[in-house]
Amino acid sequence: MDEIDAIEQAAREEAASRLFSGPVDFLLSAPQLKFLPEPAVPEIAFCGRSNVGKSSLLNALTGRKAIARASVTPGRTQELNFFDVGRPEEEGALPLFRLVDMPGYGFAKAPIKVVDKWKALVNSYLRGRQVLSRTLVLVDSRHGLKDVDRVMMKMLDEAAVGYRIVLTKTDKIKASDLAAVTEKTAAEAKKHVAAHPEIHLTSAEKGMGIAALRAAVLADAMGEGWTQ
């Protein structure tokens, strides 16, 4: 990255930090499509296998300790959770965009009916949500891409929804192993039409990669030039 690019990236990260330090509020949980909020603002969705660290990453990105909570309640796995980000001062104004916490996948013990309901909800949301600007596919860096991740990637390809692959828990893996899994993941991403070429390396616990990912989320939602 040259000096100009570094300055621009720093500006994007600063703008994203300012935005996320403002209002970020839970809006609703949607167990069915009929409960989705009106598609009035851009949405950025987060998905990943159960225990990939999705809640921790959402908390780190928004600078909150518990805006997203991991739940052991089976019913929670079937819901799309929406969070409003940024709110203009005008009374009744819509948020600038929304984060969508999608139900975790790859459950080992979930009943078939629960899994089928999850697939139907997620597939319908991905295919029919015009305001969905980007999806983040979270992958545990210690394990790399699994078959269930590939199923999600294929689903996103077929739905023509652009997505970023985010490696999580990078503080829990040796640097050489992380380099190898990053290279392998990037090579596989190139085979998917909807995958963004950049692989994001993050650690919610240590804060690594959070500022850069926050800036990428803001750019996806609001456009590259958004630096207010």
Residues 117-133: pLDDT tens digits? 888 888 899 988 999 99
Distance CA 210, CA 136 (A): 13
Q: Give Cα separations from 159 to 122, 125, 154, 193 (angstroms).
A: 11, 10, 8, 11
Residues 9-63: pLDDT tens digits? 898 899 899 999 888 999 999 988 999 999 999 999 999 988 898 989 999 999 8
Res 108 pLDDT > 70: no
pTM here? Answer: 0.91
Q: Give Cα separations from 161 to 26, 125, 128 (angstroms).
A: 24, 11, 10
Model pLDDT, residue 75: 41
Distance CA 73, CA 211 (A): 31
Model pLDDT, residue 65: 77
Distance CA 105, CA 152 (A): 9
